[in-house]
Amino acid sequence: MLMSEEEAKAYEENNGQLEGPTQGEETNDITISINAMCGNVGSSTLRINGLINDKKVHILIDSGRSHCFIDEKVVGVLECRVEHTTHIVVRVADGSKVLSSLDCPKLCWEIQRHQFSYFVRVLKLGGCDFIMGCDGLSVKKKWSKGKQKENVNNLVLFEKFCEAPKFKLITPSILSDCLRIT
């Protein structure tokens, strides 16, 4: 991100979050949930594997969001084409604000052999590589036949999600050990 010295200092002091908009920033109504920032799966999110530049990424599909975001570290690793833009303040559901000054104007990604291409904002995320909002889903209006199953109300069911969760039995003794203060 390109920031003035004042903005950079405020950004570092707040661990990548801003107190409020500074001069030259747009304050569009772009919001993101805490769960999406952390990569947690909830009632309106789905975690799935995908590909960007032929590299595996963890994608969080968030039906409660309209925008798509990619993690700033992932952009560097995948060598995605980015452009500098006016600073956009993204409001996190907990009231904090995060600055975005880069975007990928036409990022291409793949989910289960389905190609997507859309405008994506670069943002500091925590628990996933990419957040796909509803606007990213809407660009893929026509799904090829035979590669997905459809359910009631035209909802698309993907063939395979991320690895199955692994459960471990927590016995009272294990719980006691975990809660023991040293």
- Residue 161 has a pLDDT of 47
Listed as ranges, residues in the chain with pLDDT below 70 are: 1-29, 34-37, 39, 43, 64, 135-167, 181-182
Query: What amino acid occupies position 33?
Result: S
- Residue 124 has a pLDDT of 86
Q: Who's near 95: CB < 8 A, 6+ residues apart?
A: none
Burial 71-83 (b: 16+ CB within 10 A, else e): bbebbeebebebe
Walk me through the domains of the chain, giving residue ranges and CATH numbers. 5-179 (2.40.70.10)
- Residue 151 has a pLDDT of 45
d(CA 116, CA 102): 20
The pTM for the full model equals: 0.60
